[in-house]
Amino acid sequence: MLPVGPAAADPDVAPHYTIVFPPTMLWSNFQRPHNVLTHLARHHEVRCLFNDWTVREASAEGGRLIVTRRAFRARYHRRPLVYYYSIPEKLKYAERLRPDLIVFELMDVPEREFADWKAELPRSLERADIVRTTSSAITAYLQDNFSEALGGKRISTSYNGVDLELFDPDRAFDRPTELAGVDRPILGFYGNLDWWIDWELIAELARLPEYQVVVIGDTEGKRPRIPGELRSSSVLWLGRRPVTELPTYLNAFDVALFPFVINEMTDGVDALKLWEYLAFGKPVLATRTAFIEARAGLFTLIERGNARAAVEAALASAREPALVAARMAAAAERDWKTIADTLHGEILEALA
């Protein structure tokens, strides 16, 4: 997933700035920060440093994107330095970097498993030169609960995007070997398997004999989260797959699933998978989080007790060319390049 072409530009050309993302997640996870930095490096003269503590030596060194465990080493830096982070406790690394600009981007509502972020959140909001969120629900949460720490700062809401080159339905795909023998419509999900998954809803779908539920994710690492009876059900558990392989599986789905429980945290989730699903024009069965309900025309709503009717409605919508086109058009507006361009403009304005 490392960039090619313009991102491998001459490193001796002075960049507009160096942006550093601290040790937070692995490069192989390829989430929002990975996409943002990749497209900043690919389309702008920006040196992007992603700190992955599992990398032995720098990857892509010599280009504008450098994945390394030594992102704070001065030899990588060309000022001005921009510190870009998403978890409040990671503000501590800014002291080592002494950046010219701090960009704090909150990607989840600090509730439930993220509730411990609240203690450090005010300081992050006070110190940040640019405050961003990934959904209007998170923006409203900050305005309602942390207005004093914000001190009148503007919050930029920047939704998640999709890699339209990778998630391109016009590419040729072979059917995955694991799905070769499946002769029923596939109801598919991929992503993190944690408390926010509505396992009872998955179980209800699995009890429909005319369909095959397929789940792609860390089924071993998250085994305690998955109910035992569901692990032994008709669900086809495929384990984790690299992001580069996900389009192949998505192409085989007849209906894509977004079975999240509903609470204050999930109401603000703008999941990458949603836009990847929509890029293929797939009907998406989704629970009624606030984020989904605000865009209900793109999704088929599902809740416990109406699984069969919801699946039938979703499959019927797959035969409606106008609905398929609307999904794909919505995803096309979420190109990561556009999202990176917006951040680049905000940074240049703030530096000036």
Q: Which of 305, 246, 237, 311 is nearest to 279 (CA)?
A: 246
- What is the H or E stretch that residue 137 is in? helix 136-145
Domains of the chain: 5-161+335-351 (3.40.50.2000), 177-332 (3.40.50.2000)
Tokens of 171: 């590419």
Q: How do the pLDDT tens digits run along the chain, 352 residues long?
A: 444 333 444 445 567 999 999 999 999 888 999 999 999 999 999 999 999 999 887 777 668 999 999 999 999 999 999 999 999 999 999 988 999 999 999 999 998 888 999 999 999 999 999 999 999 999 999 999 999 999 999 999 999 999 999 999 999 999 999 999 999 999 999 998 888 999 999 999 999 999 999 999 987 766 777 888 887 789 999 999 999 999 999 999 999 999 999 988 888 888 999 999 999 999 999 999 999 999 999 999 999 999 999 999 999 999 999 999 999 999 999 999 999 999 999 999 999 9
- What residues pair up with 190 in beta bridges, in sequence order? 216
Q: What is the pLDDT of residue 120?
A: 95
Say which residue the tokens 């305005």 belong to: 143
Closest CA to 38 of 4, 76, 15: 4
The pair phi, psi for residue 72, each rounded to 5°, is: -90, 0
For Cα atoms 197, 201, 203, give the angle at the middle one, nearest 5 degrees: 105
**Residue reference for tokens 């550093």:** 20
